[in-house]
């Protein structure tokens, strides 16, 4: 498992240190686990980061839907990072950085996929609609 | 095709290693499984992009405001979040080599997973009963595909969880089972991360539209 399970508890200590402290079985170098404190921190943060956006939408304390939407997305982004750190135990050094490298690559592809699709399809929608006036223009163009 | 060592004037030059680098069994499983999760991420990215494009095409049918019950979604979100933390507790018990406590927390995780699936199936049945079927509009097709794919992942995760509980109770916390539990741990937390995207972009932003 190596250091995917390198948890926040280990962040303060060095990389090699977690290899040193074993659990008394043969596989311990590969089994750095999350700590109770780490999981609870992640859980409490997640509850807050989930409850606030639900409250924002259900009770709508903000007048502007745009601001509410922006805040909801921001809370989601923070919560994804919280999950990555406290539950998935992500860090830049696990598997000699290959985990993180794959993650960054995936992130780039995901952003290109989603943003690119929305961008292209939005302009297709607005520019490719068969409008009455453009059809008339075509007819005028065909007259001579 | 020769795999023999090639001699040159300078002496022996080896073009292959005399001995394969030593890897203990399963040492590359974690990286491989992580790469699988990343590719799974791409499936969901495409489904999110599709939903983003056609999510407002109601075909004069029901919109998210007519259909979604946010209290139900909040309960569902809580179920998945609870299952994440209880799986974490199972991993902590596994680290302490306590087999029965690990099994207990895995069982609780499975129950939360089943509760999530039950609520989701209830929601789907309710929508279909109201005529909001996947065939009704592009919005509903994209909705059922995205949320259904996530639900299918949770279903397979739950089946995997039960399988591992049987494995652990039969063979104990042997290294192979620890490795499997780690893989499922990543899978389970990954599904929770996807759910954050689902409840934010589909349900919460849908209600704001």
When CB atoms are compared, the residue of B34, B175, B205 closest to A27 is B175
Note the pLDDT of residue B150.
Answer: 97
More confident position, A10 or B45: B45
Note the pLDDT of residue B124.
Answer: 97
Tell me the chain A residues in contact with residue B43 when contact means C-beta distances shorter than 8 Å.
none
B163, B44, B140, B71: CA torsion to nearest 10: 70
Separation of alpha carbons B134 and B143, rounded Å: 8
* CATH number of domain containing B130: 1.20.120.80
pLDDT digits (tens, 9 = 90+) for A13-27: 334 334 434 333 434
More confident position, A22 or B198: B198
Note the pLDDT of residue A63.
Answer: 87
Note the pLDDT of residue A28.
Answer: 39
Note the pLDDT of residue B172.
Answer: 94
- Give the predicted TM-score (pTM) of the model: 0.81
* Size (chain A), residues: 144
Q: Does A55 contact chain B (CB < 8 Å)? A: no
A7, A10, A37, A39: best mutation site toward chain B, by most B Cβ within 10 Å? A39
Distance in Å, alpha carbon of A141 to nearest chain B alpha carbon: 34
Cβ neighbours of residue A132 closer than 8 Å, sequence gap 6 or more: none
pLDDT band at B8 (very low <50, low <70, confident <90, very high): low
Separation of alpha carbons B183 and A116, rounded Å: 32
Note the pLDDT of residue B26.
Answer: 78
Any domain includes B196: yes
Q: Round the average pLDDT of chain B to a whole number and report it.
A: 91
Please give the structure tokens belonging to residue B20. 């394969």
**Does residue B54 carry a pLDDT above 60?**
yes
The residue range of the domain holding B114 is: 29-208
Any domain includes B9: no
pLDDT digits (tens, 9 = 90+) for A43-97: 999 999 999 999 999 998 888 999 999 999 999 999 999 999 999 988 888 778 8
Instruction: Give me the interface pTM, i.e. the ipTM.
Output: 0.85
Mean pLDDT of B123-150: 95
pLDDT > 70 fraction of chain B, expressed in percent and rounded? 92
Count the domains in chain B.
1
Note the pLDDT of residue A30.
Answer: 42
Q: Is the dihedral of CA B7, B10, B14, B15 positive or negative?
A: negative
Separation of alpha carbons B63 and B59, rounded Å: 9
Tell me the chain A residues in contact with residue B51 when contact means C-beta distances shorter than 8 Å.
none
Q: What are phi and psi of B12, to 5 degrees?
A: -80, 125
Any domain includes B10: no
Q: What are phi and psi of B153, to 5 degrees?
A: -60, -45
Any domain includes B1: no
When CB atoms are compared, the residue of B41, B52, B205 closest to A106 is B41
Any domain includes B5: no
**Does residue A143 carry a pLDDT above 60?**
no
Query: Hey, is B8 helix, strand or coil?
Result: strand
Separation of alpha carbons B112 and A53, rounded Å: 22
**Does residue B128 carry a pLDDT above 70?**
yes
When CB atoms are compared, the residue of A30, A106, A121 closest to B42 is A106
Note the pLDDT of residue B24.
Answer: 76
Separation of alpha carbons B191 and B184, rounded Å: 10
SS3 content of chain A, % helix, strand, coil (to 5): 75, 0, 25
Note the pLDDT of residue B11.
Answer: 59
Which of A55-64, B112-121, B163-172 is least confident?
A: A55-64
Any domain includes B89: yes
Distance in Å, alpha carbon of B130 to nearest chain A alpha carbon: 23
- Stated as kind and residue range, the H or E segment containing B12 is strand B11-13
Please classify residue A82 by burial: count the beta carbons closer than 10 Å to its beta carbon, then call 0-12 exposed, 13-18 middle and 19+ buried.
buried
- Stated as kind and residue range, the H or E segment containing A70 is helix A65-86
Any domain includes B113: yes
Any domain includes B163: yes
> Looking at residue B201, what DSSP letter applies?
I
């Amino acid at each position: 498992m190596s250091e995917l399970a390198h948890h926040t508890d280990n962040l303060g200590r060095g990389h090699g240190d977690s290899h040193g402290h074993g659990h008394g079985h043969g596989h311990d170098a590969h089994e750095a686990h999350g700590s109770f404190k780490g999981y609870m921190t992640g859980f409490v943060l997640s509850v807050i980061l989930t409850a606030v956006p639900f409250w924002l939408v259900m009770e709508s304390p903000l007048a502007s839907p745009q601001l509410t939407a922006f805040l909801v997305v921001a809370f989601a982004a923070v919560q994804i990072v919280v999950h990555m750190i406290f539950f998935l135990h992500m860090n830049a050094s696990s598997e000699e950085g290959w985990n993180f490298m794959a993650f960054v690559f995936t992130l780039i592809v995901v952003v290109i996929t989603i943003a690119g699709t929305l961008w292209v399809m939005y302009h297709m929608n607005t520019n490719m609609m068969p409008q009455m006036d453009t059809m008339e223009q075509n007819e005028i163009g065909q007259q001579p | 095709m020769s795999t023999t060592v090639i001699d040159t004037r300078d002496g022996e030059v080896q073009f292959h290693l005399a001995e394969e680098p030593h890897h203990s069994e399963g040492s590359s499983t974690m990286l491989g499984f992580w790469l699988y999760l990343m590719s799974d991420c791409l499936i969901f990215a495409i489904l999110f992009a599709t939903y983003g494009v056609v999510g407002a095409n109601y075909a004069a049918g029901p919109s998210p405001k007519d259909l979604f019950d946010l209290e139900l979604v909040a309960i569902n979100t809580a179920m998945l979040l609870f299952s994440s933390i209880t799986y974490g507790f199972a991993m902590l018990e596994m680290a302490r080599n306590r087999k029965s406590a690990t099994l207990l927390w895995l069982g609780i995780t499975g129950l939360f997973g089943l509760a999530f699936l039950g609520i989701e199936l209830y929601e789907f049945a309710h929508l279909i009963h109201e005529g909001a079927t996947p065939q009704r509009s592009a919005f509903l097709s994209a909705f059922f595909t995205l949320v259904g794919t996530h639900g299918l992942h949770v279903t397979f995760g739950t089946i995997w969880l039960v399988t591992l509980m049987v494995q652990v109770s039969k063979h104990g916390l042997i290294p192979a089972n620890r490795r499997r539990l780690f893989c499922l741990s990543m899978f389970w937390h990954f599904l929770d991360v996807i759910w954050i995207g689902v409840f934010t972009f589909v349900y919460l932003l849908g209600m704001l539209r």
